[in-house]
Amino acid sequence: MTVLRKMAVAAALTAVLTAGAGCGKSGDNSSATTTDGKVKISVNGLPGNDNPAGRKEFLAQVAAFEAKNPNIDLQPVEWTWDARTFTAQLAGGDLPTTFQAPFTESGGLIARHQIKDLTKWVEASPKLKSILPTMLDAVKSTDGHYYAIPTFATQNGILIHRGLFTKAGLNPDQPFTSWDELAQAAQKITQATGKAGYCQLTKQNQGGWILTSIIAAMGNELETRDGDKFTANIDSAGAHSALEFLRKVRWDYNAAGSNFLIDFTALAPEFAAGRCGIMVGPDGWLGEFVTKNKMNPKDFGMFPLPQTANGLGGLGGGTLSVLRADATDAQVDAAVKWLEFRFLDQYYDAKTAADLAKAQATDGNPVPGTFYAIVNQQAYQPYLEAIKPYINVPVANVKTYVDASQKLPVVSEPPVEAQQIYALLDTVIQAVLTRKDADIDALLKQAQQQATTILATAQR
């Protein structure tokens, strides 16, 4: 039983269930207060009836918040982000007061003035200001204002199988300083163990996503802003270097395994079982490795992405909390309290942190479940101390990644048609890994032309 269930009494839960039972739609924002003078806000995130445990827990969290803030009336809704319907819902006033959106959408939402300027609330809140500067910078507009609150984030890094590193005579605590060094380590792993030194995802748009991480660390993004539009930047120096790295690992070092049509579902058990030494990906994959693929957590390690001299940082993802542009100041006050309660209180309340960690450990999940904390060290270190009795993953194994994440800039995914761009890059990666004579220059020129058409069509 989690802390959220413990905190809600039966009577309060019943009241919320009654109020939320018909909350499939968010309605408009025409009335910001209830008849008895409470500030009224609708909040997304309510799981559907197909997830009764999650729904009960969310409603218990709502009940606990309302008990603590009796002047606020929360209306939970099942709304989830869908780019295909968002514009119509916005025009129809059918959005929750506060809702989560992907990181990739922040630029467009800000540019189109579709969300509330939250600058004065962010600057006035010690909890919000404790969010990593690299994260807050990612939600700033060009005028320096904040329009969103990061609530969950991840940043890609280098995942390593420490067992294979040890067998190959490599130091699993020494991060790579260059991509050449990484390639050489992959070769040593293959030579010493016969296993794939480095594994590259290549399907389901996942290959393009991972390649984008490498390209960013080598100095380029896939799209560049040109006024209010984005243009393709596929044929770049960083992309050439990233593909040359893959070519070297595959053809010069023969250290990339033998399966070059693979997605995460197929690769995860390979990595977990020690048949792959190095991958690029997020720390959030640890749960999949441990709970589903039975990896020994002691074998999991992580480094930051090596950066070239002009490296941009680590490709990040996650969710942002934003507010409707027509939200009143009183509604923003209430929403900020809710978002702090839901996403940040575990970093400021030792009991909340410990109870949540205990529940996660009891359910067989890794604790902590993510190593990319969105808050600074002043908030994160007390949190780690609070959950210490329940930590079941060697935190020291990811120290270099955690330390780097406090400073390494967060690079956003391509803001326009990211999945289509990733799909294009999948085919490029497959060509480089399966054809020794693949012409990287020609492949990137063709992908640039295709991406240009995709972006032009999407932004008409």
Classify residue 126 by burial, with Cβ atoms within 10 Å: 0-12, 13-18, 19+. Answer: exposed
- Total number of domains constituting the chain: 2
Of 44, 62, 96, the domain-final residue: 96
What does the mean pLDDT of the chain come to?
88
Of 96, 119, 138, the domain-final residue: 96
- Confidence check: pLDDT of 204 > 90: yes
Residue 317 backbone dihedrals phi, psi, to 5 degrees: -150, 180
Which range has the worst mean pLDDT, 27-36, 46-55, 195-204, 208-217?
27-36
Domain containing 183 equals 157-281+416-458
- Confidence check: pLDDT of 283 > 90: no
Q: Is residue 90 part of a domain?
A: yes
* 270 and 199, same domain (yes or no): yes
Classify residue 18 by burial, with Cβ atoms within 10 Å: 0-12, 13-18, 19+. Answer: exposed
Which range has the worst mean pLDDT, 49-63, 360-374, 388-402?
360-374
- Confidence check: pLDDT of 6 > 50: no
* 163 and 238, same domain (yes or no): yes
**pLDDT reported for residue 238:** 98
- Confidence check: pLDDT of 35 > 80: no
**pLDDT reported for residue 29:** 54
Q: Is residue 214 part of a domain?
A: yes
**pLDDT reported for residue 28:** 53
* 198 and 269, same domain (yes or no): yes
Q: Is residue 395 part of a domain?
A: no
Question: Which residue is listed with tokens 């989830």?
Answer: 80
Give CA–CA dist 447/212, Å, rounded.
14
Is residue 249 very low, low, confident or very high in pLDDT (cuts 50, 70, 90)?
Answer: very high
Going 333 to 334 to 335 to 341, the CA torsion angle's sign is positive
* Long-range residue pairs from 116-122, CB within 8 A, at least 24 positions apart, any chain: 116/147, 116/322, 116/323, 116/324, 116/325, 116/327, 116/332, 117/145, 117/146, 117/147, 118/146, 118/147, 118/148, 118/149, 118/323, 118/332, 118/336, 119/145, 119/146, 121/332, 121/333, 121/336, 122/146, 122/149
50: left (phi over 0), alpha (psi -120 to 50) or beta: alpha
How do residues 104-163 score in pLDDT, each as one tens digit? 777 778 878 889 999 999 999 999 999 988 888 878 888 899 999 998 888 999 999 999
* 20 and 165, same domain (yes or no): no
For residue 392, give both structure tokens: 């079941």
**pLDDT reported for residue 13:** 29
* 190 and 74, same domain (yes or no): no
How do residues 60-85 score in pLDDT, each as one tens digit? 989 999 999 999 999 999 998 887 78
pTM of the model: 0.79
* 171 and 267, same domain (yes or no): yes
Yes or no: say if 64 and 9 are a contact pair by the CB < 8 Å rule.
no
Q: Is residue 208 part of a domain?
A: yes
Give CA–CA dist 200/314, Å, rounded.
17
Q: Is residue 401 part of a domain?
A: no
Q: Is residue 69 part of a domain?
A: yes
CATH of the domain at 181: 3.40.190.10
Q: What is the mean pLDDT of residues 77-102?
A: 87
82 vs 167, more confident:
167
How do residues 320-367 score in pLDDT, each as one tens digit? 999 999 999 999 999 999 999 999 998 999 998 998 889 888 877 788
The shares of helix, strand and coil residues in the chain, as percent rounded to the nearest 5, are: 50, 15, 35
Q: Is residue 51 part of a domain?
A: yes
Q: What is the mean pLDDT of residues 41-59?
A: 89
Give CA–CA dist 278/188, Å, rounded.
12
* 49 and 162, same domain (yes or no): no
Yes or no: say if 26 and 79 are a contact pair by the CB < 8 Å rule.
yes
Torsion of CA 400, 401, 402, 407, to 10 degrees: 100
Highest mean pLDDT among 41-55, 240-254, 380-394: 240-254
- Confidence check: pLDDT of 385 > 90: yes
Of 80, 96, 112, the domain-final residue: 96
102-to-67, 112, 241, 349 alpha-carbon distances in Å? 30, 16, 29, 27
Yes or no: say if 179 and 245 are a contact pair by the CB < 8 Å rule.
yes
Q: Is residue 376 part of a domain?
A: no
**pLDDT reported for residue 54:** 78
* 161 and 277, same domain (yes or no): yes
**pLDDT reported for residue 31:** 65
Residue 68 amino acid letter: K
The DSSP call for residue 92 is T
Is residue 30 very low, low, confident or very high in pLDDT (cuts 50, 70, 90)?
Answer: low
* 76 and 181, same domain (yes or no): no
What percentage of the chain exceeds 90 in pLDDT? 61
